[in-house]
């Protein structure tokens, strides 16, 4: 059994807990929280919730520590720190800061002899893998990533910061016409506005100026100004009833040419349609936690990403079994 610890227990941590239950070679041994452990109720019977400070007492009881904190403030500190004591996996997703994070985690891992896998999930993660595979197969081509339909946490937060807004949810939606143009092989150049639309469901405070709120949202720089944005005002009840899920998904499409005179076109498309963004992300992470364990057992160490890990490491099955059943 692979003994797993969860460090941070929000939506992602709960997703990890659920995913561990679906993998018969894994066992949850501890959850660590910054909150008062007595206030944190988890789903798995018989597993103790500890304070984060207690983690270092359990270095011999945990094969892989899965970090479930945020990318903005938690992971840049936590992953390099914990990699000094544990094999670790995180879902660090600030694309621009990945090189720096990689280097920090690698340094800790090289000192401790542990394996650290960073930026695991679907983007970064499975989408990155598909961008890499497709670009290696079709070097003369172009790739496109579309996100959605799904809830963007950052954009929903931005809506809720507008004066007069009580609550809100934002959906990122790929533009069907743009998807079709990409799939046709015409390699279009697409502006931000042409690729995605943004749909907002807003609960306004009583008596708030709806026109002003709508205008403020639509003109918000970075978040909405570059997109065609629609704003729907709804009641809190309707928001809870119809918009409480956390679905997401998207598409990675590469269109490329082959042939002596580039006469043939090819489309590679990878897509996800997810009822629960955090649970799917967690499922990817747990598969890579298995890889982390296996690589560590082999004596490997250092920081890795999805690019560095042979697919067979993710599987519970032997090389023989996967060749026989899946090749």
* Part of the chain binding a copy of itself (CB under 8 A), chosen from 49-57, 80-88, 91-99, 156-164: 91-99
Name the nearest CA neighbour of 288 among 113, 56, 148, 92: 92
Residue 310 interacts with a copy of itself (CB under 8 A)? yes
The CB-of-103 to a copy of itself minimum distance in angstroms stands at 10
# chain residues binding a copy of itself, by CB under 8 A: 69
Render 151-206 in DSSP notation, one character per residue. E-HHHHHHHHTSTTEEEEEEEEEE-HHHHHHHHTT------HHHHEEEEEEEEEPT
The 92-131 contact track toward a copy of itself, x by CB under 8 A, reads ---x--xx--x----------------x----x-x-xxxx
Q: Would you tell me how many other CB atoms lie within 10 Å of the CB of residue 308?
A: 12
Shortest spacing between CB 216 and a copy of itself, in angstroms: 34
What's the CA gap between 177 and 194, in Å, rounded? 8
Phi and psi torsions of 106, nearest 5°: -60, -40
DSSP letters of 201-230?
EEEEPTT--HHHHHHHHHT-TTTTTTSEEE
152 binds a copy of itself, rule: CB under 8 A: no
Let me know: does 83 contact 117? Beta carbons within 8 Å: no
Q: Please select the residue that binds a copy of itself; options are 136, 211, 221, 237, rule is CB under 8 A.
A: 136
Q: Which of 35, 43, 111, 215 binds a copy of itself (CB under 8 A)?
A: 43
Stretch in the footprint of a copy of itself (CB under 8 A) among 58-66, 81-89, 132-140, 164-172: 132-140
Binding region for a copy of itself (CB under 8 A): 15, 17-19, 21-23, 43, 95, 98-99, 102, 119, 124, 126, 128-133, 135-140, 183, 258-260, 264-276, 279-280, 282-284, 287, 290, 305-312, 314-316, 319-320, 322-324, 326-327
């Amino acid at each position: 059994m692979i003994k797993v610890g969860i460090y941070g227990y929000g939506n992602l941590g709960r997703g990890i807990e659920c995913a561990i239950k679906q993998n018969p070679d894994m066992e949850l041994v501890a959850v660590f929280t910054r909150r008062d452990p007595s206030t944190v109720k988890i789903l798995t019977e018989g597993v103790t919730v500890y304070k984060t400070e207690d983690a270092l007492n359990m270095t011999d009881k945990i094969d892989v520590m899965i970090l479930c904190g945020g990318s903005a403030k938690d992971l840049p500190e936590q992953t390099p720190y914990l990699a000094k004591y544990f094999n670790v996996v995180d879902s660090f997703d600030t694309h621009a800061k990945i090189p720096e994070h990689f280097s920090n985690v690698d340094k800790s891992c090289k000192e401790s002899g542990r394996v650290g896998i960073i930026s695991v999930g679907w983007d970064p993660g499975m989408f990155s893998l598909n961008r890499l595979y497709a670009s290696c197969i079709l070097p003369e081509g172009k790739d496109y990533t579309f996100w959605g339909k799904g809830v963007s946490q950052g954009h929903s937060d931005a809506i809720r910061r507008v004066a007069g807004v009580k609550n809100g949810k934002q959906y990122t939606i790929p533009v069907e016409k743009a998807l079709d143009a990409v799939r046709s092989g015409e390699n279009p150049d697409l502006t931000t506005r042409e690729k995605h639309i943004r749909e907002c469901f807003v609960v306004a405070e009583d008596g708030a100026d709806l026109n002003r709120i709508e205008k403020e949202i639509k003109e918000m720089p970075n978040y909405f100004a570059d997109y065609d944005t629609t704003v729907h005002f709804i009641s809190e009840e309707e928001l809870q009833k119809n918009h409480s899920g956390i679905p997401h998904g998207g598409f990675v499409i590469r269109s490329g040419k082959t042939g002596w005179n580039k006469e043939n076109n090819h489309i590679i498309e990878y897509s996800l349609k997810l009822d629960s963004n955090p649970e799917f992300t967690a499922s990817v992470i747990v598969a890579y936690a298995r890889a982390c364990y296996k690589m560590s057992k082999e004596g490997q160490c250092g920081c890795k990403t999805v690019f560095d890990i042979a697919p067979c490491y993710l599987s519970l099955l032997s090389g023989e079994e996967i060749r026989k059943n899946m090749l």
